[in-house]
Structure 1
């Protein structure tokens, strides 16, 4: 449901719309009205009552004065004592216009009901005397039509009866002594009905010093006059006295003022009727009448208020308890178009400031707020704490005027304006920008927390009140909570503790943290921290080793499966070529300066290029918070308890954020591969990339899941797949058997072959295929065209070593059939043949001995081979690679077997038709000495 904006329903007064109101207009001046020089809104009785909301307290007071002047009872003496700006003078003006009778009561809005209630048809016109303690001077007599008036009682007599009235107190006025009660009673009786209005009496009396008389009398004579006056008024049935006394110490002023207030309050206290004019709820209507001319569409206004009230009830868990009461709807209606929370914060919080006048201060601030919002075309349904245009210089100046020094930069940087952090966040995040979530939240926090002081035990404004100050029907409360969390992370002057938020002129720890962040460098600080966290978050699992940010020379080139984690500066970009693939290719092809052969043993984990910058920023924040906490514990910095707790909580949060960001950043699993088709060669190196789920509970298990699901790693291999690999790549032409160890080692080296978890998987595949005649046969070696330890189609537990052969099934079947035909009967116990029985019977001991695979001793007819000798010619250009192959394929077979001693001798022969020069001879001999050659000599040719 679309709600009408307040500006389409409530029309401000002309001076508010145009911004032509003056500060002085907000301060009612009783003396100026009495002198006839006040502005129209105060001077004109009809206009004054039109803009005046008659509160319950004011109604009772006016009723009492009406009855007193009509001689029907009423209180003779009324003291108005309220806080600064509480409406004392405004109330006196209402009595002034009513009692003076210049305009019929029927023309004064609201007064007719009061007269009817008092059963008074026509109110008699009264004489008015106004005694203004600020306008009068104790030592400067005033001239009144040729008469010199020195004292308050002289001024009172002159205002009531002119020269004739003054004559009654002339001697007392001249001497500065108080007239007696009888004289004052005569004065009042002669000129009744009359009303005496005394304003700012404390300001006048406090100017007198002890034991010193001025033209206006003395401290004691003025107190005596007040005492006598109250008694005289009490005695005259149609006389009324209204006096205002301050309530706050800021209005009293000096210690002398406090003494004057105490004495006057004691004097008035004997006969007064104490009255406090403005209740909090009534203040709403007072401000609205002064600022707004009319509510054009009352039905639309009530609809807005009802919608807000219903929305609050529907979201009771996120809002203050008072919003659930039925009367809150009435508060909304009374305050419309201003939200009650604005009034609550101003009257409850801002009015505690010494120089903030309650009603006047609210009027001044809200007049500027409304003017700016009207000018900017604000379309909010209500004027809320989040609506305050603190970006406007006039509004901001009005607000900071009441606050201590230092609030300007707080508002400009953290709250509102083009350069504020809140604006920057909303410009980058449209979720927040669409409803101004950050600015509105910061404004509400400012309004609710700026008047608080560091001495308060509980500071700030509750989250529920912030939400109340910003949320509108139809909006998501969670969005504003997210905005507050973002502000807590970003703002320099915003503090947060115990579900309360407040702004302070002192930078929070975030400023210190931001300064420290700049100290940390990528390679020296950030990368080692990331490495530690990555290492901590991974377990070996299926991998024989995990290498985090490791140089290629330190990644072993062996048969174990290894996960290589690339550093953040070698990130992977899905959009195209990246440094990550370049670094991975370098590690894949080389181990340091040497070529890498077991390339199919490496899997790579790479960072996402688009996330690296955020990860580094979060790591710097974590390092900064950690340094702050460490410095606090080591007494290198001083923090109060709240800031220390905030630092500790921020460190915990930052550490959790780093952990989460590492999972989100290191999300690319990258594996090398090549495609190969028999007879068509190999394709170029290609990289397969797969994305990990950052939300998985266990990072290592997630890596293993992706590897298995995408067949990047085989943990269980069916014999049929091994048989296909053998047919495609190993059983070629006349080669019908292949070393099982060669197959396993080639699968570790060639990127086009399947990547097995380890040799155990390979051995289990061999065992699984042994009982079938569809895949392969086994032998423990081959001598003179015959297989040693032959097995085919029988259960078999192969041991993976250099002697184990995998035989093509057709060949194995043919061999088994031939062996069966050639089988000879065993003659005698212990007789043996060197052939294998047909049908693939299990190999016997004498067969196994030749292959060295199964246990058992050799027969007498067979010699045990105990020595091996081999020689090879190497190409001088390719010698390094050929020798590496020689070590891997031959020498390693011996070194892997226990009890085998290996000796390698290298013979180098070099001949030159022209002879070797001296430099070459010297270099070769020196190098040979370093390498500990047994013999290294140059000889002369024939």
Structure 2
């Protein structure tokens, strides 16, 4: 039975790669040369390319090489006329390696026989031949035939050539000898010609190639021509189509896998297959959802074949290198794998995607690599962070994949023999997403992009704020944008008890009936200026709905991120504006009511009056009608022979909720003027002066308002028309 760690402890043994297969010495020592370059064949320094014995030692006889050797034999024995060969395949598929292999086989018959015997191959090569290899990296010439003729020792014929070598001239160069010509990277050289300014050179070289291949197809001539070809230049394709050289694809996947293993390991065939199967089964047996494999048995067979490399690693690297161009600074695939072998040889049982050095691909997209490193720094404390981000980066750089699925990530990291669980990796993936700036998720696929993943960052940033933090932000918006900084928010602001009018906005309902009544009593308890408060209640239970809180979180997160990232596209600014407006518009619909107090049958009670969330509309609804105020004043002084001082009257209006609600002192002064004009009150001013029929120039707080029925008998009329006589 498998445990949740991912392996059957009773059955399986924990092997290391070193227990199963032997890495080449140069791999373990870090001196491995993975990139083969044709122009180094004749280099003076010690190189793998110019050492035939060592080169053949690390060369696996791929099906492409076997096919070519078979066809060379047919040409030598006269079974076939064709001596022209095109070695085709994408970048990194082994064209140059195949070309150099054939060159060394032609040049070293005795080594060729040893190598053939080692691989149990029967092929026939000329005992003696003249071979030349031309890499256009070494020879940047206007005429391709010039370096070829010089290397063949026929430089004297060059002076006889007019526009291009004729077939007769090529045959003269070849003579009766067996000649092998190897041409590498022809397309780079060919593509450098300017079609407008150098059309004549293009035509001359095309004609030469056509003539050369025609001679190679002549049954009477022992000429072999091998050309590596990416099949990207249509004009060259036309020439090759006419002369019909043998097209050999050097990139079959199975061959390439064997080539890689042979380059990096010794005696791959003698590796212990039982141990390999044991390791692979430990992985395959615990692959479960969300890991998705279409044909698990076939997958298992291929993993055994590519051991010690995980199949996903090999497939991914092949895809990356097929798309990579030579102009990109991409380290050779074999070097990448060699480094991984050196690093894991003594500590792991299988090499996964996350085991390779991602810096090898910096040349594909340097800017993206920098963003990956920046993001990695933000999440480096999370367990599988590096492995996860590295995997996503590699899958992003692979043009054949849109990014990495959860299945890709798990296959790239999960090692049951190291105690990993699928859940632990998935949890780290969940914790990571939203923290890196440039990590995106589209259709369940993770990928890196050059632009910020604003929305994922927001989601993660939102988690930093408590609900109370968010409520404070919402309250700030309510106070500022809805109530124009002219209101207090209950529960968040300190509400003063002074004689000025105060609008108090409640963000949450106080209930209805007895519940509301109790809340109101609690609010007014101990307050002196009870009739200066305008309480604004929401129509909903709370303005802090889930929708509003989410908007508040996004708003705060966006404001925070503005201080952390460059918002070059203005996405954060737009989010801030949209969420702010959304909060304002929505909360406006929640309001509301104001509380108005009335005295009914000697008892003080409240009424709820509908209002909109507009400060001026609220004030307008809250204030009492001037006529009501006038009537109230008259009734108030009806039983007071001495009346009431205006200052005291104003204070009482502000203290007692049974009084009509006034917005300011001027309301009382206006009411008194109107009442005096209508002869419903009289006024007693300074020094005992009475104003009965005429109005005083100004009404002062110290003046008293008296009911007319308490007017004194006038003993003396004042000469001043605006003065009233003294009693």
Aligning the two structures, in what range does the TM-score lie when normalised by the shorter sequence? 0.5 to 0.7
Partner residue in 1 for 2:332: 361
Q: Distance in 2 between matches of 1:309 and 1:328?
A: 9
Of 290, 293, 296 in structure 2, the residue corresponding to residue 321 of structure 1 is 293
Q: Distance in 1 between matches of 2:207 and 2:159?
A: 13
Q: Contact 2:458 / 2:554 at 8 angstroms: preserved in 1?
A: no
**1:345 equivalent in alignment to 2:320:** no
- State the 1:277 CA deviation: 0.4
Cα pair distance change 1:310/1:123, threshold 3 Å = farther
Specify the SS of the correspondent of 1:80: strand
- After superposition, what is the alpha-carbon deviation per residue over 1:246-267, rounded to whole angstroms, capped at 9, x for unaligned? 345xxxxxxxxx5xx6146424
TM-score (ref. length: structure 2)? 0.59
Partner residue in 2 for 1:222: 205
Q: Distance in 2 between matches of 1:333 and 1:356?
A: 34
- State the 1:276 CA deviation: 1.6
- State the 1:618 CA deviation: 9.1
Specify the SS of the correspondent of 1:73: coil
Specify the SS of the correspondent of 1:243: strand
Cα pair distance change 1:521/1:441, threshold 3 Å = closer
- Taking the TM superposition and a 5 Å limit, the aligned residue runs for 1:70-219 are 70-73=77-80, 75-108=82-115, 112-115=119-122, 124-138=127-141, 152-153=144-145, 155-160=147-152, 162=153, 166=154, 170-192=156-178, 194-205=179-190, 218-219=201-202
- State the 1:158 CA deviation: 4.9
- State the 1:364 CA deviation: 3.0
Specify the SS of the correspondent of 2:286: helix
Q: Contact 1:86 / 1:357 at 8 angstroms: preserved in 2?
A: no
- State the 1:469 CA deviation: 1.5
- State the 1:346 CA deviation: 2.1
Specify the SS of the correspondent of 1:338: coil
Q: Distance in 2 between matches of 1:406 and 1:211?
A: 37
**1:386 equivalent in alignment to 2:360:** no
Of 217, 230, 233 in structure 2, the residue corresponding to residue 234 of structure 1 is 217
- State the 1:622 CA deviation: 4.4
- After superposition, what is the alpha-carbon deviation per residue over 1:873-911, rounded to whole angstroms, capped at 9, x for unaligned? xxxxxxxxxxxxxxxxxxxxxxxxxxxxxxxxxxxxxxx
Work out which structure has the larger RCO, using CA pairs closer than 8 Å and 6 or more positions apart in sequence.
2
Partner residue in 1 for 2:378: 421
**1:447 equivalent in alignment to 2:394:** yes
Specify the SS of the correspondent of 1:440: helix
Partner residue in 2 for 1:262: 235
Q: Contact 1:205 / 1:219 at 8 angstroms: preserved in 2?
A: yes
Q: Distance in 1 between matches of 2:120 and 2:252?
A: 20
Q: Distance in 1 between matches of 2:96 and 2:194?
A: 27
Cα pair distance change 1:281/1:357, threshold 3 Å = farther
Of 440, 445, 453 in structure 2, the residue corresponding to residue 500 of structure 1 is 445
Q: Contact 2:34 / 2:333 at 8 angstroms: preserved in 1?
A: no
Q: Contact 2:340 / 2:351 at 8 angstroms: preserved in 1?
A: no
TM-score (ref. length: structure 1)? 0.47
- After superposition, what is the alpha-carbon deviation per residue over 1:694-725, rounded to whole angstroms, capped at 9, x for unaligned? xxxxxxxxxxxxxxxxxxxxxxxxxxxxxxxx
Q: How many aligned residue pairs are there?
A: 520
Of 387, 403, 413 in structure 1, the residue corresponding to residue 365 of structure 2 is 403
Partner residue in 2 for 1:299: 274
Of 486, 493, 517 in structure 1, the residue corresponding to residue 431 of structure 2 is 486
Specify every segment of 5 or more residues in structure 1 that has no aligned partner in the other structure, as ranges.
140-150, 249-257, 391-395, 427-432, 533-546, 566-588, 595-616, 629-635, 656-925, 930-942
Q: Distance in 1 between matches of 2:198 and 2:492?
A: 92
**1:459 equivalent in alignment to 2:459:** no
Partner residue in 2 for 1:800: none
Of 262, 265, 271 in structure 1, the residue corresponding to residue 244 of structure 2 is 271
Q: Distance in 1 between matches of 2:238 and 2:151?
A: 25
Q: Contact 1:353 / 1:451 at 8 angstroms: preserved in 2?
A: no
RMSD across aligned positions (CA): 5.1
- After superposition, what is the alpha-carbon deviation per residue over 1:487-528, rounded to whole angstroms, capped at 9, x for unaligned? 213222211121111112322115863898699898674357
Of 413, 418, 421 in structure 2, the residue corresponding to residue 470 of structure 1 is 413
Cα pair distance change 1:450/1:208, threshold 3 Å = closer
Q: Contact 1:4 / 1:381 at 8 angstroms: preserved in 2?
A: yes
Specify every segment of 5 or more residues in structure 2 that has no aligned partner in the other structure, as ranges.
1-8, 478-489, 498-505, 528-548, 561-567, 584-700, 705-727
Of 17, 31, 35 in structure 2, the residue corresponding to residue 27 of structure 1 is 35
Which protein has the larger Cα radius of gyration, Structure 1 or Structure 2?
A: 1
- After superposition, what is the alpha-carbon deviation per residue over 1:673-705, rounded to whole angstroms, capped at 9, x for unaligned? xxxxxxxxxxxxxxxxxxxxxxxxxxxxxxxxx
